[in-house]
Amino acid sequence: MRQLTLTVIGGGSTYTPELVEGVIKNFEVFPVKELRLMDIDEEKLNIVGGLVKRMLESSNVPIKLLLTIDRKIALNGADFVISQIRVGGIKARIRDERIPLEFGVIGQETTGAGGFANALRTIPVMLDIAKDIEKLSNNAWLINFTNPSGIVTEALLRYSKVKTIGLCNVPINFLYRFASILGVDIKDIYLDYVGLNHLSWVRKIYSKGNDVTNEILEKIKGNLSQKEREIVKSIDMIPNGYLHYYYFKDEVLETQKSSEKTRGEIVLEVEEKLLERYKDESLREKPVELSQRGGAHYSEAAVELMKSIYLDRKDIQIVNVINNGSIIDLPDNGVVEVPCIIGGNGATPISMGRLEPYIRGLTQTVKYYEQLTVESAVEGDIKKARQALLVHPLVGAKAVAEGLLEKILEGNKEFLPQFFRRQGICI
């Protein structure tokens, strides 16, 4: 069996022990011979890497560990690359969450104006990483978790040659939720799932081939608020949790405005505690405290995807790929999150047909926002940036006119050379 080199860009993330747990569990079928963790933050890398080293030792798997701050060393000859970077760190995430609030707009790290700012910072860095992969490991598969995952994946697939698949833990979490309601294995479930990353709907649920959608809808009612129940009753579909920001826009904005801390500020505290915990030499496994982060099952999603590519399993997983006609109502060159056949040739989207009228318009609008965002990030095009925010249903003209875009660009100046390099500033 060919042994593999797995590189994690952003390997100093506190999430990494979760990923490593999955790699260890799957060693027999997915034989990683070398695990390379790369990060620009050497201190964090060494703390997280220390725990990873102990995890590998205590599990007795012969995986060689390399910790490095040199991206080129990390990528050289890799078979799989996982990217989980956060350009500007949590400080930038907090800024993404705070600036929109000043303009009466929801602040979120992947959705709306916050996700837009995140994308502008992140896309050029990811395209740089892709250039290195093209040179140093041109046969590698890039599994992208870097947020906003769908938008970043679209940039990579449109502007680089790297074999990229975008991934998110939302689909696998749906599988776990439904499997536990039905008391079956997640492998028995198939989801008729459509949309974009963090903007998707489960239209139908099948268990061992039987349509169990109504049974699930009935059973989840108890966990929903009155308002959520109304939504589900109206559309007979289960919305991705991130649709909350659209369906309950006003309520979410009010809650955010009155909250003392943003999610990023809470995450910062969780991170500090986690890093302290990771320093403990007696800790040899992923600590329970990690479950306070939102990445549940992300390791399983990543390993299952890599396994299916490596073993050419041709099974079905929900990932982010170029649409290519899978959803008729969306542009062919846009990235969508849909069920795909996963094998040695990557992810082939299944035909999902048309979107129902009550989800079509929102999905199209957000897709065009995403495409404008990608193009503006790549080209440093201020006009497209403005257009992106103008069309976004959570932003709109008022915030743009009041200077939201200027504030985003100014606040992120050090990460946005593409907008500032020409005439000083080109607003």
CB of 402 to ligand G6P, least distance (A): 28
Could you tell me the CA-to-CA distances from 226 to 174, 220, 232, 249 in Å, in that order?
21, 12, 10, 16
Among 119, 170, 342, 394, binds ligand G6P (CB under 6 A): 170
Rg (CA), the chain: 21
Classify strands 315-322 and 210-211 as parallel, antiparallel or unpaired: unpaired
Residue closer to ligand G6P by CB (options 169, 299) is 169
Residue closer to ligand G6P by CB (options 113, 168) is 168
Return the residues of window 130-149 that contact ligand G6P according to CB under 6 A.
147, 149
Site string for ligand G6P, 281-300 (x = CB under 6 A): ------------xxx-----
- Read off the tokens for 128: 């740089």
CB of 242 to ligand G6P, least distance (A): 8
Residue 427 makes CB contacts below 8 A (sequence gap 6+) with 382, 405, 406, 409
CB of 406 to ligand G6P, least distance (A): 27
Query: Any catalytic annotation for residue 242?
Result: yes
The reply on whether position 335 binds ligand G6P by CB under 6 A is no
With CB under 6 A, what is the number of residues at the site for ligand G6P? 11
Q: Which window, 152-160, 167-175, 368-376, 410-418, contacts ligand G6P (CB under 6 A)?
A: 167-175
Residue closer to ligand G6P by CB (options 32, 119) is 119
Task: Give the residue at shortest CB distance from ligand G6P.
Answer: 294
Among 75, 99, 142, 168, binds ligand G6P (CB under 6 A): 168
CB of 92 to ligand G6P, least distance (A): 13
The burial class, CB within 10 Å (0-12 / 13-18 / 19+), for 278 is buried
CB of 177 to ligand G6P, least distance (A): 14
Residue closer to ligand G6P by CB (options 6, 170) is 170
Residue closer to ligand G6P by CB (options 168, 212) is 168
The reply to whether omega before 148 is within 30° of 0 (cis) is yes
Place of tokens 């006609």: 325
CB of 370 to ligand G6P, least distance (A): 15
CB of 116 to ligand G6P, least distance (A): 15
CB of 36 to ligand G6P, least distance (A): 22
Site string for ligand G6P, 99-118 (x = CB under 6 A): -----------x--------
Return the residues of window 343-382 that contact ligand G6P according to CB under 6 A.
none
Contact 46, 326 (CB under 8 A): no
Encode 242-289 in three state secondary structure.
HHHHHHCHHHHHHHHHHCCCCHHHHHHHHHHHHHHHHHCCCCCCCCHH
Residue closer to ligand G6P by CB (options 149, 256) is 149
* Cα separation, 315 vs 342, whole angstroms: 5
The reply on whether position 313 binds ligand G6P by CB under 6 A is no
* Catalytic member of 15, 193, 242, 369: 242
Among 267, 372, 405, 416, binds ligand G6P (CB under 6 A): 267
The burial class, CB within 10 Å (0-12 / 13-18 / 19+), for 123 is buried
Residue closer to ligand G6P by CB (options 13, 68) is 13
Residue 27 makes CB contacts below 8 A (sequence gap 6+) with 61, 63
Q: Which window, 117-125, 166-174, 187-195, 282-290, contacts ligand G6P (CB under 6 A)?
A: 166-174
Q: What angle do CA 252, 217, 177 make, to 5 degrees?
A: 75
The reply on whether position 263 binds ligand G6P by CB under 6 A is yes
Catalytic positions: 242
Positions touching ligand G6P (CB under 6 A) are: 110, 147, 149, 168-170, 263, 267, 293-295
